[in-house]
Chains A and B, each alone.
Chain A
Amino acid sequence: MLQKRNSRKADLSQLIIPLAALGILLLFNLIRGIVIGDLRFFSIGIGENIYGNTVLTGNLISIIDDASALAIIAMGMTLVTAACGGQDISVGAVGAISGAIFINVLAAFGLDKISVGTILVALLAATAVTIIFTLFNGTLVAVFKIQPMIATLILFSCGRSIAYMITGSATPQLNDPLINAIGKTIPGIPIPTPIFLVVIMGLLLTLIFKLTNLRLYTQTVGINQGAARLNGINPVIIKLLSFVILGICVSLAAMIQVCRLNQLAHKTLLDAIEMDAILAVAIGGNSLGGGKFRLSGTILGAYIILMLTNTLNDMNVSADSIKAYKAIVIIIIVIAGSPGIKNKISELWKKSRSRSSKAMAGR
């Protein structure tokens, strides 16, 4: 009797670690909130923002809002990791380039003439250029067979300089209501726009997975490239495609950040987001060596990272020291999933079972 439920069970097991981490964080904050008598962490409310619109406010909302750029990039990173078995560390730098193009195109039309049309054109231009850069990385990885981390080291080193080269030292300020609508909220809609964009990106990818064989091909290539080829799949194309999708994600995330901050600071835009993105992928239960993947895990991972940062901030841990705590979390998660530990656990399990069966036999 075939049990279809098995599939969902098998897939959901991947979500155990992220859900557990989320649970621990929430529980921790709950206890802490009770102890200090302030459950502000969990606040969700309705208020007015500086433009006079009614918006959802509160800590939880702001965590989810802040995590938007990370969540989007992490989605793209999940695909690249799944197909290529490695990580792209240049996403922050390439994001800076993307933001630079976005602003420059807007400026070309005139910063006082911003409209939905110009924004769309700017976004398209930025996406096109971003894809060129991510395809550069993709070619090094898929065609020249260079390890992803090393191949992307090049743009990691000089990407932000390229962004600077594009914008020059000028840092135009974007102070347009349309920009604010993207970066913050659209008047009349209480939910911050970036959250919508995360949902849209997520839906877009889900749609792609439904309408094409991308998930099957990507996972197959990531698990066994040779066998994939013997079944008619072209691993090079799939890998390149993953980088194209990453490019789209990066450019969308860059636009969000530029609109939130109302300007482009090429050094700090999406700073260190590559490390967080990789972390989100790992926390989400995806193997960093490629193969099967689950986007929902990654998105959870992104929120967990922001929640962790938020919790630590709340505890008055300085922004810089937070890195240390993140590191410890990474180490714990990664040790828990390591082959070395898995072996030891299975050995202990076997020992205890044989001991109990021996005990039974002895009786």
Chain B
Amino acid sequence: MEKQAVPAKGHKASQVLEDNVVLAMRGIDKTFPGTRALNNVDFTLREGEIHALMGENGAGKSTLIKVLTGVYPKDSGHIYVKGIQGEAHIHSPQEAQNIGISTVYQEINLCPNLTVAENMFIGRTKGARVQWSINEKKADKILRNLGIPAQANQELSRCSLAVQQMVAIARAVDMNCKVLILDEPTSSLDEKEVQMLFGLMRDLKSRGVGIIFVTHFLEQVYEVSDRITVLRNGELVGEYAVENLPQVELVARMMGKDLNDLADLEEIGQKKTAGETVVYEADKLSSTESKPFHFSIREGEVNGFTGLLGSGRSESVRAIFGADRVTGGSVKVKGKPVNITKPHDAMKAGIGYLPEDRKRDGIIADLSVRENIILALQVMKGFFHPMNQKETEKFADEYIKALKIKTASQDTPVGSLSGGNQQKVILARWLLTHPDYLILDEPTRGIDVGTKLEIQKLVLKLAAEENMSITFISSEIEEMLRTCSRLIVMRDRNIVGELTGDDLNQASVMKTIAGGGQ
């Protein structure tokens, strides 16, 4: 599908901003040490348009937004906003707000202990006196106007998350925003609340507000957006009108694939056929974050959970590991019923888990590389059996070499390593425990291409030589196609398909991820 024509760079602001364009970003570059986050990216937003901004991890979505809202300075490029003469130079979120660009984040940046009205007006008035009744009347008017079911004098924490979000939007609207950025607004909402939010969005649309809708929920994008901009690896893939882009095409663009490309995957190793013994089996397993699902994996099998980011892959495996609170279902490990309510139980049952968010859930930043590597194994050996210095040094040495971890020494605090090397440390940690069943959630994220391949080869080797069962989660389809013999596809928090054998090709995967529609 062709790209929609965008106004060319280098034109004067008045030419770039056609009549109905409220925001034009041209040639935006942003580099961080080690990564090129944005490379010559363009973005256009029109009046009264709901424009979805999409891309997988590392695509540059959040960087683009942060550049637009003044959190990061851009390296080069131009930003034009309707009503501003010449270029808009935005140095802080406050400045962005002042020129009409407002953002509503996923973690609602309001104060739950204040009332709805207060949240709408605080930080905006010049006077010292707080005018309760005036503010409440004004707030009520705005709330009625936008159809938001909240009372001005209600404490914000008493409102549901969806309503809180709408209050944040109301504040932005009251500040006469021309551009409203909604950053993953529907992640914590139920169906009814999503519809309520969409109603408000359509209302704003009719008032001429331009909305940038950052999300990964495919169906929602098609339900409510007018246009879609796709980013990938910091570059603009294209801007499309929603009616011109079938879902499958969108997925293909996001993943950088050409649907029709049936080129053979570079083979990196033989996929072993799985053994007969079922190593792990879950029946109607549910947690506080995931709906009941069935799952089983056999000895030596490598399976994958795929789908777009946020489709529910991580939540499912966290339920398996007991990382989230398990609310129902039964689990059998090697045929025997097992009660897994916390990670320690899973570890004892021979399960290992490399978490998706290494900073929050993985590394113990102030402790050394060595201590981080031996941590899980140490816990499994038990409180009263500390390993001696020589042993731990040997293990650490082994894995630093094997995974080529770049560190000044074993004793460097792991927090000072680069992201990719931190990832390798966590990987080493779990490999060291030699689990029967290893769950790897995005193990190659942030790792250089060469090592990515090494890890994939390693996965195959572990399955083949040690009969380890592995669940491999990745946003990159080829990684999974190379290693997995079975792929479970998820979309919008549901399991929508399972692919094996001949279906393990890019086209089928993407079709299954994308689902119906057009």
Task: State yes or no: do A and B come from one complex.
Answer: yes
Q: Assess whether B379 is in contact with A4, with CB atoms less than 8 Å apart.
A: no
Within the complex, which residue of A210, A232, A292 is in contact with B343, where a contact is CB–CB below 8 Å?
A: A232
Number of residues from A at the complex interface, CB < 8 A? 28
Within the complex, which residue of B343, B353, B364 is in contact with A223, where a contact is CB–CB below 8 Å?
A: B364
Which of A64-72, A148-156, A211-219 is near enough to bind chain B?
A211-219
Q: B413: nearest residue on chain A (CB-CB)?
A: A10
Q: B368: nearest residue on chain A (CB-CB)?
A: A7
Q: Assess whether A219 is in contact with B367, with CB atoms less than 8 Å apart.
A: yes
Which of B53-61, B105-113, B403-411, B469-477 is near enough to bind chain A?
B403-411
Q: Is there a chain B Cβ closer than 8 Å to A98's Cβ? A: no
1/0 per residue, CB under 8 A from A, across B381-412: the answer is 01111100000010001001000000011111
Could you tell me the distance between the alpha carbons of A4 and B390 in the complex, rounded to whole angstroms?
Answer: 11
Which of B241-249, B370-378, B449-457 is near enough to bind chain A?
B370-378
Contact partners of A3 in chain B: CB under 8 A: 408-409, 411
Q: Assess whether B386 is in contact with A216, with CB atoms less than 8 Å apart.
A: yes
Contact partners of B355 in chain A: CB under 8 A: 230
Could you tell me the distance between the alpha carbons of A229 and B408 in the complex, rounded to whole angstroms?
Answer: 28
Q: Assess whether B411 is in contact with A226, with CB atoms less than 8 Å apart.
A: no
Could you tell me the distance between the alpha carbons of A61 and B359 in the complex, rounded to whole angstroms?
Answer: 48
> Given contacts A4-B393, A6-B409, is CB(A227)–CB(B363) below 8 Å?
yes
Within the complex, which residue of A7, A213, A227, A231 is in contact with B383, where a contact is CB–CB below 8 Å?
A: A213
Q: Is there a chain B Cβ closer than 8 Å to A87's Cβ? A: no
Q: Assess whether B376 is in contact with A292, with CB atoms less than 8 Å apart.
A: no
Within the complex, which residue of B347, B360, B375, B380 is in contact with A216, where a contact is CB–CB below 8 Å?
A: B375
CB distance from B1 to the nearest CB of A (A): 43
Q: Assess whether A211 is in contact with B384, with CB atoms less than 8 Å apart.
A: yes
Q: Is there a chain A Cβ closer than 8 Å to B276's Cβ? A: no
CB distance from B381 to the nearest CB of A (A): 8
> Given contacts A7-B368, A230-B355, A291-B366, is CB(A212)–CB(B386) below 8 Å?
yes
Q: What's the count of A-B pairs with C-beta under 8 Å?
A: 95
CB distance from B120 to the nearest CB of A (A): 32
Could you tell me the distance between the alpha carbons of A216 and B368 in the complex, rounded to whole angstroms?
Answer: 11
Could you tell me the distance between the alpha carbons of A229 and B376 in the complex, rounded to whole angstroms?
Answer: 10
Q: Assess whether A213 is in contact with B378, with CB atoms less than 8 Å apart.
A: yes
Could you tell me the distance between the alpha carbons of A88 and B343 in the complex, rounded to whole angstroms?
Answer: 30
Q: Assess whether A216 is in contact with B371, with CB atoms less than 8 Å apart.
A: yes
Q: Assess whether A4 is in contact with B411, with CB atoms less than 8 Å apart.
A: yes
Could you tell me the distance between the alpha carbons of A224 and B367 in the complex, rounded to whole angstroms?
Answer: 10
Could you tell me the distance between the alpha carbons of A79 and B376 in the complex, rounded to whole angstroms?
Answer: 22
Interface residues in chain A, defined as those with a beta carbon under 8 Å from any beta carbon in chain B:
2-4, 6-7, 10, 210-214, 216-217, 219-220, 223-224, 226-234, 291-292
| Contacts A/B (CB < 8 Å), 9 sampled | A3-B408, A10-B411, A212-B384, A213-B382, A213-B384, A216-B375, A228-B364, A229-B342, A230-B321
19 additional A-B residue pairs with CB within 8 Å, beyond A3-B408, A212-B386, A233-B379: A2-B397, A6-B412, A7-B411, A10-B368, A212-B384, A213-B383, A213-B384, A216-B371, A216-B375, A224-B363, A227-B360, A227-B363, A229-B342, A230-B323, A231-B375, A231-B379, A232-B379, A234-B342, A291-B366
